[in-house]
Amino acid sequence: MRLNKHLSDSGFCSRREADRLIAEGRVTVDGQRARIGAEVGEGADVRVDGQKLAARKAARGQRRHVYIALNKPVGITCTTESAVKGNIVDFVGHQQRIFPIGRLDKDSEGLILLTSNGDIVNEILRAENTLEKEYLVAVNHQVTDEFLRGMARGGVPVHGQPTLPCRTGKLGRFGFRIVLVQGLNRQIRLMAAHFGHRVKQLVRVRIGNVKLGHLKPGQWRNLTEVELRGLLPQRSEW
């Protein structure tokens, strides 16, 4: 098994984070400093910063990993770095080591998924994945049909690349709904700013088939089997 997969299976981190730890020389296999792309055999002594890891196992019919949906409040940062005040891992305080799937801006709120399964993070964030993400947005200027058409047709420059077409709908004088398949950093805020609007509130209410529902800010729940299968229909082990 690839070393980065072994680390993600243990619930310690995602594969991407595992590669970073390996590159920093913080991972050893049987007492030797590991290298990127290394393979590990069954029973290998794998350690991160001297801490021994073991692949997580579960009884038949039970999940090996944790999958939760959180209503993230404003002010919480989607990072696993414990040195960051208000980091999402400490905020949830789960008994297992978990990490967010993707991110939601510190100033934004709403649905975000977290897991102990590093493999599913990569699968959901993979570029070819086209999971819809739905947001409710309030801005400082009146929402016009022209503004909504401009947001929806795509081509808005964000971080040097054009946005893809998306769906929009009006919600009162100063609000709108937007459904994206992209996930560029601060995308909606930058798109709105391109048309002279400042986002005052942004709430994510859906990721694929997973809905925020009645979760209050700060509350979380476990994902259902139906939700997991909807996110990754080809996966059979959880």
For 109, the enclosing helix (H) or strand (E) is: strand 109-115
Catalytic-role residue among 19, 105, 107, 145: 105
**How many CB atoms are located within 10 Å of the residue 180 CB?**
22
> Is 9 designated active site?
no
Instruction: Report how far residue 57's alpha carbon sits from residue 1's, in angstroms, rounded to the nearest whole number.
Output: 16
Strand-pair category, 175-180 with 167-170: antiparallel
Helices (H) and strands (E) in the chain, counts: 7, 15
Distance CA 140, CA 103 (A): 24
> Of how many residues is the chain composed?
238
DSSP code of residue 224 = P
Catalytic residues: 105
